[in-house]
Amino acid sequence: MESGDTESGLADSGDGPLGDDHSSFERSLRVWADGAFLCSEQAAADMLAGDGGAILFTSSSAAVRSDGVAHSSAGFGARGLARSLARQLWPEGIYVATVLVNGSVGRPDQREWADHPDGEWIHPDRVAETYWHVANQHPSAWTLELDIRVHAADINFS
């Protein structure tokens, strides 16, 4: 693995004047934006042929503010895709939303949750509850984008 890579394939090395080389930039776009497109394309086709459904994108604050060239560009692309799909698919009864997960989500087996303050990690059960709520909203009050984070997180909009 090259410097700056994560296991997900998203890159943000911080090296060089633009933060990433072209291969890192392209890899991030392929994983995040292209992957979201290909997955939603298949899901939407099935949902249009059936009884509708929900397509939920997962992202982070990188999709709304600059956190490095490759990572943020890919995040902006996936966020734009979600908004475009929402415009096209909501009238067809297919719900599309983005959930921004801003923080580290712990694994249920990672720790004894009672021994750690809630401000340190996002509890995986609370993330699941949030997704369930979003996916099951009534069409008269759909959410386009939701930001979840721990209560002690620093909120930075720049």
Per-residue pLDDT of the chain (158 residues; tens, 9 = 90+): 344 444 555 555 455 445 567 888 889 899 989 999 999 999 999 999 999 999 999 988 877 877 677 888 888 999 999 999 999 999 999 999 999 998 888 876 766 655 555 667 888 888 999 999 999 999 999 999 999 988 777 776 65
From residue 143, give the alpha-carbon distance in Å to each of 63, 77, 97, 98: 17, 19, 6, 8
Size of the chain, expressed as the number of residues it contains: 158
Antiparallel, parallel or unpaired: β 145-148 and 94-101: parallel
Enter the pTM of the model. Answer: 0.79
Q: Does domain 22-148 have CATH number 3.40.50.12780?
A: no
DSSP-derived 3-state class of residue 10:
coil
CB atoms within 10 A of CB 66: 14
- Residue whose pair of structure tokens reads 């099935």 in the numeric block: 46
Domain ranges of the chain: 22-148
* Structural tokens at position 20: 């990433």
